[in-house]
Structure 1
Amino acid sequence: MIKQVQALIKQNFNRIPLPADIWKSVRHKDFTRQVRNFLWKSLHNAHRIGNFWTHIPECEDRAICQFCGVTEDLEHILLKCERPGQHQIWNLAKELWLKKHDRWPDLSLGAILGCGLASISNERGKKLPGASRLFRIIISESLFTIWKIRNDCVIGNSGTPPSLKMIHNKWLFAINRRLELDRTMASRQRQASPGSTGLQAWVSTLKDEDKLPDNWLRVPRVLVGVEPHQPSATPPRRRGRNR
C-alpha cells in the first residue's frame, strides 16, 4: 500500500515521499478524526472487507461484493463498484474541483490514500496552499462518504442501494459542513478575512460568489457552488378531452 501511494504521488506531484511522510500525512489537520482513522486502517490493510472473511467459517460470502460478484477490496469499494455511490460522488468532487483548478488528476487507490501529501502548483511552479487544502478536503470527504454509504447498505443490511438524490445530497452536506466550520472558526479570529489561509481554499467555489460581499465571513449562509439534487421534471399527464 505504501508503494502504491509513493508511485501515485510521484505521478501526480513529481516527488517520491518517504514512508514516514506518508504515515504522518494521514494525521493531517485538514482531515476529520474519522478520516484519519480510516486512512490509518487503510494503509495497514486493516478494514474488515474482502479477504479478511475468506478464512472465517460461514462468513466467506462476505468477501464478495453482493452487487458486482467480485472480491470487495478497498480499491473496488472506492473506485470500481457499480453499486450507486462511488461513481456519482467522484463526479461531484471533480465538478467542484474544476471550479478551483483546471486539471482533475487520475484517481487511483494510492492517490486517494495519499491525498494528505497533495501539493498543487500553478503553471509557473508556484505552490497554491489554498488549492492544496481544498483538494485534501474534497478527496477525504468524498472517500469517507463513499465508505459510509457502502456500510449503510452492506453492514446495515438495508439491501437497497441509496437513491441518486440521497447520494448527491449526502456528499453536498459533508462539503458544506466543512465550509461552514472553516467560516465559523475564521470569524472568531481578529482581523480575519476570506483571504486567510483556511478560507483561501474556498475562493472560486462558492455559490453566487460574484454577489457575495468582499468579506463574506458573517454572511449567514454561504454554500459551495454545487446545487442540491433535483429530480427530473416529469411531463404532465395528458388528460382526455371533455365530452
Structure 2
Amino acid sequence: MFSCPGILISQGSQRVFTKIIKGRRSKPFRKITFINLDRIRCSVQEVSDYIPTDEMIWKSIRSTNLRRLHRELFWRSIHNTFRVGDFWTHIDNLEPTAACPTCSVPESLEHIAMECDASGAKLIWKLTEELWAMKYSNWPTLNWGLILGCCGLAEFRDEKGKTKEGSRRLYRIIVSESAYTIWKLRNDRRISRGGAPASDEEIMNKWKYTINQRLQVDITLANRPLKGKRPALAPQLVITTWSGTLDNERNLPANWLREPRVLVGNRAFPQTPLRR
C-alpha cells in the first residue's frame, strides 16, 4: 500500500482546483509594489496607530465603500501599471511624454494626485478638507501613502476607543472620489483637451457633482429593498455618514432619506474659487 498526497478529482470542484493552481504559481516580484506597500504601512501607522499587513491592504481595496473604478485605480496605482511617467522613458521618440507638460517634472502618479496644478490636485484636496471640516476637525496631512491606503484602512475612534463608523466611511468616500476625480481631470486634459487645463470653476463644479452623486447613490440604496426584505444599504449608516455635511440641514427631519433634493452643504463649495 502507498499513499498519494492530494485530492481526488471526484471530490474536488473547479473552484477548489483553480485556487490550488493559482497558489502554486510564483508571484512576480515588483519592486515598486513593495515600496508602495511600505509607504502605506507607515502612513496608516501615523494616522491610525496600527501597522496593516499586506493582506489587510489588499483586502481594503475591495471595500464596499469604494466603487469598482476606484478599486481598480488604487490597485493599479500600488502596482504602478498606468502608462505615465517613467513608462515612456524606455520607448523611442516618446521620452518627452514622461514629463508633465505644465510642471516640467516627471509625471508620476504621485505628482498627478498631489502636486500638479493642471490636474486640479491642490484645489480638490483643499475642497475635500473643507468638506471634512464641516463635521470633523482631525483632517490628516495627506501624502501618497495616505491616499493609497487610508481609503480602506483609516480608522477614527472616539474617547472610548470605539470605531466611528460614520467618520471612517465618510473619509473613505470623499478621499476615493477626490482621487478618482483628479485622475479623470488629468486624462481629460492630456487626451481630449490637448494639454489645456480646466478652470478652477470647472474643477469645483465637477468635484461638487461627484460628491453629490455619491450622496444620491447612498440615498437610493438606503431606500431600495433588497429582494423585498431590507434596503441594500443600512439607512442609519447613510445618515451617520452624511449628517453634518448637508445643505440646510437644520430644516431637515432626523430621517432625511426620503426628502427631495438633499445635497451636500454649500459651505463646502465656496462661491469664489479657492486659490491653489
Same fold flag (TM > 0.5)? yes
Check the 8 A contact 2:119/2:189 in 1, yes or no: no
Check the 8 A contact 1:172/1:226 in 2, yes or no: no
CA distance in 2, matches of 1:129, 1:7: 22
Tell me the matched-pair count.
232
Larger Rg: 2
Counterpart position of 2:60: 25
CA distance in 2, matches of 1:212, 1:134: 20
Residue 199 (structure 1) shift: 3.0
Residue in structure 2 matching 1:205, options 228, 245, 250: 245
Instruction: Judging by fraction of residues, say which structure has more helix.
Output: 2
Residue 29 (structure 1) shift: 0.4
Listed as ranges, the matches of 1:34-49 within 5 Å are 34-49=69-84
Distance 1:58 1:134, change over 3 A: same
Counterpart position of 1:127: 163
Q: Deviations over 1:1-27 (max 9, x none)?
A: 000000000001000000011011111
The answer to whether the aligner puts 1:174 opposite 2:210 as a matched pair is yes
CA distance in 2, matches of 1:48, 1:91: 27
Q: Which runs of 5+ in 1 are unaligned?
A: 233-243
The answer to whether the aligner puts 1:158 opposite 2:198 as a matched pair is no
Distance 1:142 1:15, change over 3 A: same
Distance 1:229 1:9, change over 3 A: same
CA distance in 1, matches of 2:41, 2:141: 15
TM-score, scaled to structure 2: 0.79
Residue 125 (structure 1) shift: 2.4
TM-score, scaled to structure 1: 0.90
Residue 123 (structure 1) shift: 3.7
Residue in structure 2 matching 1:187, options 212, 223, 242: 223
The amino acid that maps onto 2:81 is A
Residue 191 (structure 1) shift: 8.2
The answer to whether the aligner puts 1:87 opposite 2:122 as a matched pair is yes
Q: Deviations over 1:94-142 (max 9, x none)?
A: 0111112111101011100012111111244221001100000000000
CA distance in 1, matches of 2:159, 2:123: 29
The answer to whether the aligner puts 1:9 opposite 2:49 as a matched pair is no
Q: Deviations over 1:152-179 (max 9, x none)?
A: 0012243221011110010111110111
The amino acid that maps onto 2:261 is R
Listed as ranges, the matches of 1:45-124 within 5 Å are 45-83=80-118, 85-114=120-149, 115-124=151-160
Amino-acid identity (%)? 44
Q: Deviations over 1:175-225 (max 9, x none)?
A: 101110111111224787996123311011111111112221111110011
Q: Which runs of 5+ in 2 are unaligned?
A: 1-35
Check the 8 A contact 2:246/2:263 in 1, yes or no: yes
CA distance in 1, matches of 2:50, 2:210: 30
Ranges of 4+ aligned residues in structure 1 off by more than 3 Å: 189-195, 226-232
CA distance in 2, matches of 1:8, 1:41: 19
Report the secondary structure of 2:161's partner residue.
coil
